[in-house]
Structure 1
Amino acid sequence: MNATLAAQAVALEAAAQLARALGHLPGATVTVDRIYPGQLCVGLHNGLGDFEAWREALGIPAADVCLKEFRAGAMYLKATGKYAGAEIELTGFASVAEGDAACAPSAC
């Protein structure tokens, strides 16, 4: 799909609303893709604490988070939710050593 900028308006407005309402959250890489124009992707690269802060603020249940090791020594957490009409894809990257040893990888 080759969406127009107007098609991305919901996700862009959600990003603006997040910045205004939850500006205390750790900084993130925030993107809106033309292929999924209603989706706001939030990437967190500074550890699991940042991911958890965002997850809690967005009201995403911990049970909805999947964990996957994607290469030796590195993992990511992924969860989705809704905010201001946009789908939010939250992804947090960390070293496996930082992750909870009790967490088993789950399908993402």
Structure 2
Amino acid sequence: MRTPITVSALGAPLTALRNLADEYGHLPAPSVSVSTLYPDTLVLTFYDDLAGFESWREALGVPSRNVSYGVQGGGRTRVLEAEAGYADGVVKLVGFATIPTVEEACSRVGVGS
């Protein structure tokens, strides 16, 4: 059994969140997560907003080569992940976006109409 963690042990990600809100308040708002499992990590998640992910990646100075790419959900969901050191902790960016089917992609560009 683990020893319970205190709120003060989450100081690094909570400080990072406060500082990021002050410094980058103009950027798109992500979903925010802090966990006792990773007490030094602030997770900023973007759902169907890869432009928001990219804005934060650039603001935090994460090189594009350090972004990992994956696919989940039977090939229907694109996943981007990146991390940056910030305020004595880690900020993890996660972006999810639906990958359109061929039919959806064609209908968006008017192919076949």
**TM-score, with structure 2 as normaliser:** 0.81
> How far 1:94 sits from its partner (Å)?
0.6
Aligned length: 97
Structure 2 match to 1:95: 98
Greater Cα radius of gyration, structure 1 or 2 = 2
**TM-score, with structure 1 as normaliser:** 0.84
Structure 2 match to 1:20: 22
Residues 81, 87 of structure 1: 8 Å contact kept: yes
Among 58, 69, 72, the alignment partner of 2:71 is 69
Aligned sequence identity (%): 35
Cα distance in 1 for residues equivalent to 2:16 and 2:41: 9
What letter matches 1:9 in structure 2?
G
Provide structure 2 residue ranges, at least 5 long, that are not aligned to the other structure: 101-113
Residues 44, 50 of structure 1: 8 Å contact kept: yes
Provide structure 1 residue ranges, at least 5 long, that are not aligned to the other structure: 98-108
Among 19, 38, 43, the alignment partner of 2:40 is 38
> How far 1:75 sits from its partner (Å)?
1.2
Among 75, 81, 85, the alignment partner of 2:84 is 81
Could you report, residue by residue, the CA deviation over 1:17-64 in whole angstroms, capped at 9, with x for unpaired residues? 000000011011111101111100110113211110000000001000
Residues 48, 98 of structure 2: 8 Å contact kept: no
Cα distance in 2 for residues equivalent to 1:60 and 1:4: 30
> How far 1:4 sits from its partner (Å)?
1.1
Task: Name the SS of the counterpart of 1:10 in structure 2.
Answer: helix
Misfit runs of 4+, over 6 Å: none
CA RMSD, aligned part only? 1.2
